[in-house]
Structure 1
């Protein structure tokens, strides 16, 4: 079992390297094609935002569907489909010669990448139980986070080299800008080969002539069952996405941070999330209740954002962002573990897909609200969101305390 989970985590790590590799060059790639089509500078900013958003919207729409399909057809087919489709999107991106093809590549990427994480999380859920599931979800998050940390560095290295080549194939063009995307596609294809060869189905007996009734729980019933956890997932991702979107503007306006300082801070954020999801959450599994870890996570995120809004000491930013990342590391794997425990195995994929939809809603809404609040003042987005996260932690903490007292009284 451990060997198969290691293969799964390795696949997710490599796929997220591919995702991360595109981050440093997406804006420059879009700018180059937009300028060639006569788009204005303001129009370029709009296209960069839309290309980012359309990816998240596709994930939002398709994650629940892929999750449901993984319940009916198996986790492995959805994982293979997601990895293969994502490789196609990266190749399309690298060969794009106009903005229309760029949008097509992002749509394809959003649709198929949405199949990967819900199926992977459901795979972990199938292969684990109890506190082992919490550890499994934590290591799954670690694998994804580490890929996103390694990817931008590798993508930046490849993008900064002048490869001195250009080839045209009808509407498709390959040149130096294409290299990071081709490299990411090659990694995805290699991952697909590894998964086909060494990743078995999580439990093949579950997907052979399974009666329709076993997966008959409707979407609305699942949403009602999971509603409190979905709200928490939305708020957590909302806070993280707002921070990621606004931090560059905030850091430049308040501390005159440049690309190097901002890049270093994002690396710290990714490393803390990756390491502590695997180490700390794995250690706490079975020792501290998931709800208590989630309360601590929201409290850390809220305090960190609130202090970021008020600090005038540049050096403190590094520590506050690290604590913010630690908070998210406590929230994400525990929420996934609780979601998987709220449903039976025949609906785990659908439940985790719906959680993915809540995550994507938060990821879409955070930057929009953050941008609107930033107009008021530099610190307002972090101050308001920090208050929301602290209030969430307080409410969950009070409900957890009330539940614990009831269990003590009647247990």
Structure 2
């Protein structure tokens, strides 16, 4: 075989010798620059033991967030704060969902940047402590403000999402990162499956299981404690597992005592000036996605950079699209239990909490199946950008199913056709799950250097938390307004949210066809 004479003769290699990684380029194929031919690097085996512990840890997050969804509308009714006004339930449910993400948005960047210094493990342990305490408190709350305080504590102390993503990137390289993101959603899907089942099945146990709990005054007084205690206890068990078995992935973390001592001194660094003199596009990429030969570690790879220097075009683009899909997805998930629990004559399906929990668990099962068996193949075949856009498009028919379901229920009752369409809507909505793994790849590539990986994930997660704080409240309020005032036949909320999807698709067009390389 004749070797190519220069870089121009090598597929996907630019004239300057850098590798052009198109978004259609398979993630597991790497061009070996200077060799004149395209090779497929052997995939590095995943560190399964540590990877499994991280997935075990990740399960705590969806369990605690999803367990309250099936019974939250009924809990608001039980508190009596709506005065019997059914249309007002959506306002309070949306507020409760938003509080978690609002407090998380205020703190998650701090936790992620802290993990870049003291290590991932200490921050994760703090987050698990917060989840445990807040969920027990939520189950014991009997007032609206008690619920608000518990959810606020849940969000403020939990910075694990961004830290886990940084740890994921540190456990993988360019040959196995897509495979890792294919398996990683197992935890979220399992939590999305088990959470609603637990919340729907174990709420009000004295009424649902009178033989076991009928004589328990405690469970009559605190009807939602048992449902909340399960994820709280899981978080407590996770704390012990992480403490004993998880290995730190951050190289040379600063001991906490030494870190606190250093914080008292004024830090000095010339890095920000050096970065300001560069084109942001030349700042490099995360070590997780090197695209030519061996990953090189420049002089600034271990330097912590200021927040201002993180705001490069690539980080803003990746974080913005992550925020966009999160807004669309959280709006859909916020409306779902409201719609399912609202009486048919008011615009919903009028289902009880345990049926709602079972329906919502179908999403977790099918989403996990799709992610594990097809995500890596889809991204490898179509590229991260096309996968992201395709997943976003699926939100349009998913939202359109809401008014169609109510229309059928009004004319036929809860017929077989209604149930088939309800399951079909859930299956369509699975497409949105493909967007997350795709955008995570862009975020990992957008990090200016290795030391800023946690900060980049934290910044991205902060924007997402802001959207998730806004999304449930706005979507639930629009749902209540549409019903209360019969706006557009009670369907105005769906028209508006489909418009939001169109706007998100426009934002997706700014994602590059070429994955950010060291010299784009």
Please, what TM-score do these two structures have when normalized by structure 2?
0.67
How far apart are residue 287 of structure 1 and its match? 4.0
Matched, 1:358 2:463: yes
Q: Counterparts of 1:128 and 1:59 in 2: how far apart (Å)?
A: 27
Equivalent in the alignment of 1:165: 216
Contact 2:108 2:462 (8 Å CA) reproduced: yes
How far apart are residue 281 of structure 1 and its match? 1.6
How far apart are residue 289 of structure 1 and its match? 2.1
Contact 2:97 2:473 (8 Å CA) reproduced: no
Moved more, 102-111 or 192-201: 102-111
Equivalent in the alignment of 1:118: 162
Inter-CA distance 104–392: structure 2 relative to 1 (3 Å threshold): closer
Equivalent in the alignment of 2:53: 7
Equivalent in the alignment of 1:336: 440
Q: Counterparts of 1:255 and 1:21 in 2: how far apart (Å)?
A: 21
How far apart are residue 235 of structure 1 and its match? 1.7
Which SS does the other structure have where 1:24 is aligned?
Answer: coil
Matched, 1:296 2:341: no
Moved more, 362-371 or 290-299: 362-371
Residues 93-151 of structure 1 deviation map (CA, whole Å, 9 limit, x = unaligned)? 233354443322111111122x1111111110111122522332343333123112102
How far apart are residue 5 of structure 1 and its match? 0.8
Give the counterpart of 2:147 among 96, 102, 117: 102
Q: Counterparts of 1:247 and 1:324 in 2: how far apart (Å)?
A: 11
Give the counterpart of 2:68 among 9, 17, 22: 22
Equivalent in the alignment of 1:381: 493
Give the counterpart of 1:221 among 293, 309, 323: 309
**CA RMSD, aligned part only?**
3.4
Listed as ranges, the matches of 1:164-183 within 5 Å are 164-166=215-217, 175-183=222-230
Equivalent in the alignment of 1:190: 237
| Structure 1 gap segments, 5+ residues each | none
Inter-CA distance 23–247: structure 2 relative to 1 (3 Å threshold): closer
Q: How many residues matched?
A: 396
Contact 1:15 1:191 (8 Å CA) reproduced: no
Q: Counterparts of 1:380 and 1:309 in 2: how far apart (Å)?
A: 10
Q: Counterparts of 1:40 and 1:299 in 2: how far apart (Å)?
A: 39
Equivalent in the alignment of 2:127: 82
Inter-CA distance 392–94: structure 2 relative to 1 (3 Å threshold): closer
Moved more, 228-237 or 377-386: 377-386
Moved more, 374-383 or 349-358: 374-383
Which SS does the other structure have where 1:389 is aligned?
Answer: helix
Residues 270-314 of structure 1 deviation map (CA, whole Å, 9 limit, x = unaligned)? 333333223222333544421121122122223443565668664
Contact 1:339 1:351 (8 Å CA) reproduced: yes
How far apart are residue 59 of structure 1 and its match? 1.2
How far apart are residue 200 of structure 1 and its match? 0.9
Q: Counterparts of 1:338 and 1:39 in 2: how far apart (Å)?
A: 44
Matched, 1:241 2:335: no
Please, what TM-score do these two structures have when normalized by structure 1?
0.83
Which SS does the other structure have where 2:157 is aligned?
Answer: helix
How far apart are residue 232 of structure 1 and its match? 1.3
Matched, 1:372 2:478: yes
Contact 1:118 1:352 (8 Å CA) reproduced: yes
Inter-CA distance 206–138: structure 2 relative to 1 (3 Å threshold): farther
Inter-CA distance 241–399: structure 2 relative to 1 (3 Å threshold): closer
Equivalent in the alignment of 1:345: 450
Q: Counterparts of 1:301 and 1:45 in 2: how far apart (Å)?
A: 21
| Structure 2 gap segments, 5+ residues each | 1-46, 207-212, 270-301, 409-417
Equivalent in the alignment of 1:258: 351
Inter-CA distance 398–309: structure 2 relative to 1 (3 Å threshold): farther
Contact 1:59 1:357 (8 Å CA) reproduced: yes
Inter-CA distance 129–382: structure 2 relative to 1 (3 Å threshold): farther
Give the counterpart of 1:270 among 364, 367, 373: 364
Contact 1:306 1:387 (8 Å CA) reproduced: no
Q: Counterparts of 2:145 and 2:348 in 1: how far apart (Å)?
A: 38
Q: Counterparts of 1:128 and 1:104 in 2: how far apart (Å)?
A: 38
Contact 2:321 2:507 (8 Å CA) reproduced: no
Higher helix share: 1
How far apart are residue 175 of structure 1 and its match? 4.3
Equivalent in the alignment of 2:246: 199
Residues 207-238 of structure 1 deviation map (CA, whole Å, 9 limit, x = unaligned)? 57899754542333323441112221222122
